[in-house]
Structure 1
Amino acid sequence: MSRTAPRRTRLRLGLTATALLTAATLVPAPAHAEDVTDYTISVDPAAQGAAIDDTMYGVFFEDINRAADGGLYAELVQNRSFEYSTADNGSYTPLTSWTAAGTAEVVDDSGRLNERNRNYLSLGAGSSVTNAGYNTGIRLEQGERYDFSVWARAAGGSTLTVSLKDAAGPLATARQVAVEGGWAKYRATFTASRTSNRGRLAVASSNAAALDMVSLFPRETFRNQPNGLRKDLAEKIAALKPGFVRFPGGCLVNTGSMEDYSESSGWQRKRSYQWKDTIGPVEERATNANFWGYNQSYGLGYYEYFRFAEDVGAMPLPVVPALVTGCGQNRATDDEALLKRHIQDTLDLIEFANGPATSTWGQVRAGMGHPKPFGLTHIGVGNEENLPREFFARFQRFRAAIEAEYPDITVVSNSGPDDSGTTFDTAWQLNREGDVDLVDEHYYNSPQWFLQNNDRYDSYDRGGPKVFLGEYASQGNAWKNGLAEAAFMTGLERNADVVKLASYAPLLANEDYVQWSPDMIWFNNHASWGSANYEVQKLFMTNVGDRVVPSRASTTPDVSGPLTGAVGLSTWATSAAYDDVKVTSADGTALLSDDFSGDASQWTHSGGGSWSVRDGQYVQTDEAAENTLVTAGDPAWHDYDLHVKATKKAGKEGFLVAFGVKDTGNYYWWNLGGWNNTRSAVEQASDGGKSTLISKAGSIETGRAYDIDVKVRGRQVTLYLDGQEWGSFTDDKPAEPFRQVVTEDARTGELIVKVVNAQPAEARTAIDLGGAKVASRARVTTLAADAEAVNTETDAPVTPVTSTFRGVADEFTYTFPAHSVTFLRIARR
């Protein structure tokens, strides 16, 4: 992208038009500054910008990508209580991650450890079981201590031989544990004799015995807390200095059944996340089917979340289900008794967090080791509900009950799963009318969207509900994604009077168990590393400032022309047929016509799926394939009309009609019957990342032929379904690559000039500090790398570099590197 023409003036904010003209005409450039620059930044240090709360930036933890078990939760044994089930994952059995030698059977009968811990292992005399842990195995470090525990019973007595080993041999001296009588907890300690990433824990029994809750913990956990957290992961989170911790989700909060455990309901293996399941002794906590396709042990539960927030100095922000499912499930319960029970559970949660040790639930907290209240101030109700009216009716019930007993608690609502669309608009209308304090927004969009939408919150009502940006990311872990997010974050800070809380999502990902990408922190069983996005978040979160200092920057000229591209057809987990494709230029010239009476030679197959011409239609028959895009035409086409007839044959969704196709990573498509056939939207793909431009509820009927027309004029697009206008949009927002914000640190008095240069050329910039008396040196932190650079376990091309800049003055010039984020901390004199 080309840069601006040279500028010779440096203008300050807060001046009248006459004063601006006078300043530009009469004030000569100082001798020490370059006369020619690419950009200008003008600062008004005397003006009062928005105050920035200490809780502005935080973290969002969801048990996704094995973020808890096998991740932040330090337990090294997988499936420690033999509770894995096909309800969790079709490939699971109660012995998943275990290998048995001899007689070993998982039993669910009246001899169980307790009602919540249903399964146990019956181990025959002379038999053994071995656990493989997570990833490549159990990580052991030479010289470190590890605490083993097991619940066991042996009516006739038995000796358990417990050992740690890998393929090369023992990793520690074996321990003998004598078991006698009924269920009891037994312990042993190991010191690793060498380091291994492929360790195994083996338990052998001399006589018949029953085992449950087989556990191995590193002695050294974060802050050395019992039932604690993996130190390196927790330290990386703590290094962000988060203002809040939102937990436990995310989609797993309000998906699954809201009912109680019961024998008749199969003990609710797909029960929604309910906080009372997760507290008390770990052997009495439930396990559950995780929404993301595995089992969650709840060893990391609400007590541990509160404790972690306290340990890192963050505000806890729990989220409870509102009895309206989200994440594509779209169900709402009308069970009044169930609703009342969940509202009471929420009131009990607040008492658990804040009540005195003498209260019912405060006593439970104190019994777990924390007599002092946690100081809960915010609680979220619901997550990404796509039924806004049903959700809000229930939200009001929760809020009324909470405010009646705890008027100082801020109750957080939400606006659904997208940044715009019918659900978003309806939810915001209800939140405004209901005078909600804080609304949780979520969106995952392309880097281009984040570069285009820095001004998103400029126009929000200053007197309306405030925003909690609880989940956002730019769909990638390359440096170009971090740059786009950094540019967007300057807009969050500029609007700190509206955006009160913000957290990137998701937080953690085990590289061998990924359900969602991108993620902020990656790990395996022996190492962890921060992504490029992590480095951006850390730089902003540790250099927030206390107020915004009003400033202004010049911009980059927009050189975009009309919307151009070929056309395409696609499906997603659906079989569909297409016919009568016609593309006509604005003057009526035929550009493409295909009735599939012959072959499909005009089409290029770039995706998956199984395409063929059948009975005069172009048919895709693979119902499992996702994004089966085929394209035709010239990427230079512009100002045209596209017509196609589409019919859904079978499958989960509808069909996709693409236009403006430049290549397989850059296009627009009209997604009809997407999201499990619940809504339709126009999405824009940019370098593989997608953003939603229009979204409406609706579904596609199987077997019905639909007439689809797309009219492209300049950068405006109008869409027609069966001859009726469905919607339109104009894609004319520039993706500005140069963004900035200035804040002030009240403690040090420093101005913090934060500049993002997301283009492949350096940006020489004239900076006018508006007469501020400043020191001649600035502390500088720079993140700069190739746009495609990605941090990995063995390489971190995106790493902060600190330096000192000695040329600071009231007016000075600084050159910001290509593809960079730069923070200058400038002391006042």
Structure 2
Amino acid sequence: MPRLFAGALVALVALPLVGAPPAASPDYTITVDASTRGAEISDSMYGVFFEDINWAADGGLYAELIRNRSFEFSPADNAAYNGLTGWTVTGAASATDDEARLNERNRTYLDLNGSATSSPFATVLGDFYDFSVWARADAATRLTITLGAARQIVNVRSSGANGWAKYSGSFRATTTTDAATLKVESSGPVKLDMVSLFPRKTFKGHGLRTDLATKIAALDPGFVRFPGGCLVNTGSMYGYDAASGYPRARSYQWKDTVGPVETRATNANFWGYNQSYGLGYYEYFQFAEDIGAAPLPVVPALVTGCGQNRATDDPALLQRHIQDTLDLIEFANGPVTSTWGKLRARMGHPKPFGLSMIAVGNEENLPDAYFANYLKFRDAIKAAYPQITVIGNSGPDDQGATFDRLWQLNRDAKSDMVDEHYYNSPSWFLQNNARYNAYDRNGPKVFLGEYASQDAKFANSLAEAAYMTGLERNADVVKMASYAPLLANIDHVQWRPDLIWFDADESWGTTSYQTQKLFMNNVGDRVVPSSVTGAVVQPKPIAGRVGLSTWATAARYDDVKVTGTDGTVLFSDDFADGDANGWTSLSNRGTWAVQDGAYVQSDTAATNTMVAAATDITATDYDITLKATKTAGAEGFLIPFGIKDSDTWYWWNLGGWNNTQGAVEKASGSADAKEQLLTRPDSVVTGQTYNLTIQVRGTKVTLIRDGEVWGSFDDNKVTEPFAQVITQDGRDLIVKVVNAQDKPALTKVGLDGIKVAPTGRMTVLAGDPGEQNTRSAEPIQPVTSTVRGLGSTFTREFPANSITFLRLRRTA
């Protein structure tokens, strides 16, 4: 019940915060510096990144319901594919590529005298679905098209000299189901291509699945980065493979994706399936416009990344791609009288799309080769379109030799902006809130194009939210940021975490979706400078068991010893007794056995075959020594240490990434959520025995190979489970607080004399850090309430494991 204090009516707010300030001393104090003007925040501070991964396009955002509608699937896409993948056929039926094809890009068609039934999809009772097919026949032929209980007849005319013709119709669904199929039955021989079925209800009528597009639009993104990602710059850089007759997997090329859909190419997707390009550059531009976001295309630099290392040596090919990029800008912005502006107009959009920025390349591992190409792209773009922002990148990691080299090259060349990518553990994000504090304020700006904490629990979202407060505090350096990936089909997951999950007829936002939405809908115009004092978590010395592991490699290990700095032997095993009783598997993978006085892992297909010694090393200063020999396989050695359990450890990775890179990686609560503490180019030689030493001194580690220091690191960063930022949004102040710990945080907020109304609005995301949003339940949802008792100074208790946005109205 309300209580009266000195004649004022004060409403007690039970959830999520206590209305009256507790008397206890605060755990944290937030202090505003009203005398200093903070950085302006860009309208495009937060956006979305779309890549066709996890079947995000065909069968996802692109609303086409027919899989392999043009019969172009091939072994170049996936070894299990052929032209009839996705179809069940009866009678005479074959996927054919000959002179009767629909066109040179859409080469394969269905030669049918019988029936063909599509793979299942979802329909909604009473909704309309539009059907079309391209057909040709030597004699008049009847097609019977069936969708559920609905049926239509299409009479295919004798083609004569006219060849292919398009036939269309519509259906009204007779049932709600996720197991609908489309059946096409012919009365005689007929050739079919582009068998299509679209729901009539699409997002703003532009061919995208309504629920997915609506969820993306609800984020209010400032930009859309597309079409990738790794699929942009990987694969063959040429065209069709003459030997097989199939199109090669080649880098994404925008001209393949525009014009009438029946004339567009298909391509083998980097992620192991086919992409139809029905969702192409025109549709990306249209979608960005529909949701009020700036388009940000990424073009291939002809230097591969994402675990591949190859650069083109063909100057003519490079020049063609540079010209293609200039043509892309003309397609987006050119007048209808220009060559590519005319195509845009013919596709239905005479008005320019207003392209203002473009990125060149993605996660290249050859920094000098990439940057030489990047400069050629940039110079050509700037000469023709000086107003376009051209974005370079810093490779695939948050640090390391490639990262440092690319940043130096970008600084020296005065690049407009640099694209950073990283996926790390929750602990990394909680330890790196100040990452951008020390960046050069006068250097290239940062585009954080891909980032996420490696899992899909609320603990990950809390860590991401804490990190985002640091992005906003550094809004003068970090101009844009986008979580990645955006979409995942729950039946075809190739990467996690992901922001939005879906199946044939449902979609749901993860806890990170709710977090991103809260930040993206409440950005503000500028930063209000503030600081926080309170407890942080200090680093602990590296201790735990020592281990052995491999990744797609067979190896021999011998003479494993752990010695204290005083010479005390803490653990030793030379395997001379013929058994491995002191070792246990932490992964249940690989084939381990003692052979000829060494511990051998012989399975070259197994990944992360970790075994651990029984002895727990509790010392803080010690040396690990061993001998390692690669006997076969794709990579090198993994030497785990500081093992707490199967999900918490460090390992020294030598010859990783197909024997091209070395690293020290750290797992903190999830073996799938590794962060890199150190990276460098590296390889190992099959058959050569290496003498390896890991020197541990508290949090400092030195890695020695054959007597030479290979690298070192100090894992000494403090963890900050409490983070905050304050931004101004018109007349409002938005106090954003993340409490990523299992206890409430009593916090005093001092606004340095800024006067605010006594009542404000608060939105909170809170819950069990192990919780997830799933198809069956979405427990992590925002809760908004009214709070009272506010002023220039006030105290609040922020719940355990919570993200709180408190919106205050300035009164002066």
Whether these two folds match at TM > 0.5 is: yes
- Determine helix, strand or coil for the equivalent of 2:79: coil
CA distance in 2 between counterparts of 1:560 and 1:465 reads: 32
1:605 aligns with 2:585: yes
Shift of 1:46: 4.0
CA distance in 1 between counterparts of 2:39 and 2:115 reads: 64
CA distance in 1 between counterparts of 2:241 and 2:116 reads: 30
Q: 1:151 is matched with which residue: 122, 128, 134?
A: 134
Shift of 1:372: 0.4
Q: Which residue of 1 aligns with 2:512?
A: 533
Q: 2:350 is matched with which residue: 359, 368, 371?
A: 371
CA distance in 2 between counterparts of 1:759 and 1:636 reads: 26
CA distance in 1 between counterparts of 2:66 and 2:242 reads: 28
Q: Which residue of 2 aligns with 1:721?
A: 705
Q: Which residue of 2 aligns with 1:62?
A: 51
Q: 2:122 is matched with which residue: 139, 163, 173?
A: 139
Shift of 1:560: 3.8
CA distance in 2 between counterparts of 1:34 and 1:433 reads: 55
Q: Which residue of 2 aligns with 1:123?
A: 112
Q: Which residue of 1 aligns with 2:447?
A: 468
1:190 aligns with 2:171: yes
- Determine helix, strand or coil for the equivalent of 1:384: coil
Q: Kindly report which structure 2 residues correspond to 1:697-708, keeping only aligned pairs within 5 A, or say none.
A: 697-708=681-692
1:320-363 Cα offsets, whole Å, 9 max, x none, are 01111111111011211111111000000000000001101000
CA distance in 2 between counterparts of 1:244 and 1:476 reads: 25
- Determine helix, strand or coil for the equivalent of 1:371: coil
CA distance in 2 between counterparts of 1:539 and 1:80 reads: 39
- Determine helix, strand or coil for the equivalent of 1:740: strand
| Consecutive unaligned residues in structure 1, runs of 5 or more | 1-30
TM-score (norm 2): 0.95
Q: Which residue of 2 aligns with 1:616?
A: 597
CA distance in 2 between counterparts of 1:76 and 1:348 reads: 32
1:37 aligns with 2:26: yes
Q: Kindly report which structure 2 residues correspond to 1:496-535, keeping only aligned pairs within 5 A, or say none.
A: 496-535=475-514
> Using a 3 Å threshold, how does the CA distance of structure 1 residues 268 and 210 change in structure 2: closer, same or farther?
closer
Q: 1:712 is matched with which residue: 683, 696, 720?
A: 696
Shift of 1:45: 3.2
Is the 2:76–2:247 contact (alpha carbons within 8 Å) kept by the matching residues of 1? no
1:394 aligns with 2:373: yes
Q: Which residue of 1 aligns with 2:790?
A: 808
Shift of 1:243: 0.3
Q: Which residue of 1 aligns with 2:12?
A: none
Q: Percent identity?
A: 63
CA distance in 2 between counterparts of 1:37 and 1:346 reads: 56
- With 561-570 and 737-746 compared, the bigger mean Cα shift is at 561-570
Task: Tell me the amino acid that sits aligned with residue 654 of structure 2.
Answer: L
Is the 2:239–2:248 contact (alpha carbons within 8 Å) kept by the matching residues of 1? no
Is the 1:160–1:203 contact (alpha carbons within 8 Å) kept by the matching residues of 2? yes
CA distance in 1 between counterparts of 2:724 and 2:129 reads: 49
1:194-222 Cα offsets, whole Å, 9 max, x none, are 10011111000111111100000000000
Is the 1:440–1:470 contact (alpha carbons within 8 Å) kept by the matching residues of 2? yes
Shift of 1:302: 0.4
1:417 aligns with 2:417: no
CA distance in 2 between counterparts of 1:637 and 1:210 reads: 74
Is the 2:539–2:719 contact (alpha carbons within 8 Å) kept by the matching residues of 1? no
Q: Which residue of 1 aligns with 2:153?
A: 176
> Using a 3 Å threshold, how does the CA distance of structure 1 residues 32 and 309 change in structure 2: closer, same or farther?
closer
CA distance in 2 between counterparts of 1:557 and 1:195 reads: 54
Q: Which residue of 1 aligns with 2:195?
A: 214
> Using a 3 Å threshold, how does the CA distance of structure 1 residues 145 and 430 change in structure 2: closer, same or farther?
same
- Determine helix, strand or coil for the equivalent of 2:804: strand
> Using a 3 Å threshold, how does the CA distance of structure 1 residues 588 and 192 change in structure 2: closer, same or farther?
same
Q: Which residue of 1 aligns with 2:14?
A: none
Is the 1:33–1:812 contact (alpha carbons within 8 Å) kept by the matching residues of 2? no
Aligned residues: 783
- Determine helix, strand or coil for the equivalent of 2:488: strand
Shift of 1:588: 1.0
Is the 2:536–2:719 contact (alpha carbons within 8 Å) kept by the matching residues of 1? no
1:412-443 Cα offsets, whole Å, 9 max, x none, are 00000000000000000100111101000000
- Determine helix, strand or coil for the equivalent of 1:473: strand
Q: 2:341 is matched with which residue: 362, 373, 389?
A: 362
Is the 1:326–1:386 contact (alpha carbons within 8 Å) kept by the matching residues of 2? yes
Is the 2:137–2:191 contact (alpha carbons within 8 Å) kept by the matching residues of 1? yes
Q: Which residue of 2 aligns with 1:741?
A: 725
CA distance in 2 between counterparts of 1:442 and 1:255 reads: 17
- Determine helix, strand or coil for the equivalent of 1:402: helix
Is the 2:27–2:534 contact (alpha carbons within 8 Å) kept by the matching residues of 1? no
Is the 1:565–1:638 contact (alpha carbons within 8 Å) kept by the matching residues of 2? no
Task: Tell me the amino acid that sits aligned with residue 229 of structure 2.
Answer: G
Task: Tell me the amino acid that sits aligned with residue 376 of structure 1.
Answer: L
1:587-646 Cα offsets, whole Å, 9 max, x none, are 111111111112111111111111001111111111111100000120534321100111
- Determine helix, strand or coil for the equivalent of 2:292: coil
Shift of 1:393: 0.5
Q: Which residue of 1 aligns with 2:434?
A: 455
CA distance in 1 between counterparts of 2:552 and 2:396 reads: 21
Shift of 1:261: 4.5
Shift of 1:224: 1.1
1:516-561 Cα offsets, whole Å, 9 max, x none, are 1110100000100000111111000000001000011113243443
Task: Tell me the amino acid that sits aligned with residue 601 of structure 1.
Answer: N
Q: Which residue of 2 aligns with 1:98?
A: 87
- Determine helix, strand or coil for the equivalent of 1:400: helix
Q: Which residue of 2 aligns with 1:11?
A: none
1:310 aligns with 2:289: yes
Is the 2:539–2:717 contact (alpha carbons within 8 Å) kept by the matching residues of 1? no
Task: Tell me the amino acid that sits aligned with residue 806 of structure 1.
Answer: R
Is the 1:320–1:381 contact (alpha carbons within 8 Å) kept by the matching residues of 2? yes
CA distance in 2 between counterparts of 1:671 and 1:690 reads: 12
- Determine helix, strand or coil for the equivalent of 1:718: strand
Q: 1:819 is matched with which residue: 801, 804, 807?
A: 801
1:661 aligns with 2:643: yes
| Consecutive unaligned residues in structure 2, runs of 5 or more | 1-19
Q: Kindly report which structure 2 residues correspond to 1:345-356, keeping only aligned pairs within 5 A, or say none.
A: 345-356=324-335
CA distance in 1 between counterparts of 2:541 and 2:224 reads: 44
Task: Tell me the amino acid that sits aligned with residue 151 of structure 1.
Answer: W
CA distance in 1 between counterparts of 2:619 and 2:259 reads: 64
Shift of 1:794: 1.3
Is the 1:555–1:736 contact (alpha carbons within 8 Å) kept by the matching residues of 2? no
Is the 2:374–2:392 contact (alpha carbons within 8 Å) kept by the matching residues of 1? yes
1:704-747 Cα offsets, whole Å, 9 max, x none, are 1111100111111111011111111111111110000000002x
Q: Which residue of 1 aligns with 2:229?
A: 250
Is the 1:635–1:661 contact (alpha carbons within 8 Å) kept by the matching residues of 2? no
1:37-76 Cα offsets, whole Å, 9 max, x none, are 2111111234201100000000000000000001000000
Task: Tell me the amino acid that sits aligned with residue 215 of structure 1.
Answer: S
Is the 1:520–1:534 contact (alpha carbons within 8 Å) kept by the matching residues of 2? yes
CA distance in 2 between counterparts of 1:267 and 1:162 reads: 30
Q: Which residue of 2 aligns with 1:732?
A: 716
Q: Kindly report which structure 2 residues correspond to 1:639-650, keeping only aligned pairs within 5 A, or say none.
A: 639-650=621-632
1:107 aligns with 2:84: no
1:648-707 Cα offsets, whole Å, 9 max, x none, are 111111010011111111111000011111110001111111110010001111111111
Q: Which residue of 2 aligns with 1:15?
A: none
Task: Tell me the amino acid that sits aligned with residue 439 of structure 1.
Answer: V
TM-score (norm 1): 0.93
- Determine helix, strand or coil for the equivalent of 2:154: strand
- Determine helix, strand or coil for the equivalent of 1:618: strand
1:781-803 Cα offsets, whole Å, 9 max, x none, are 10001010000011011111111
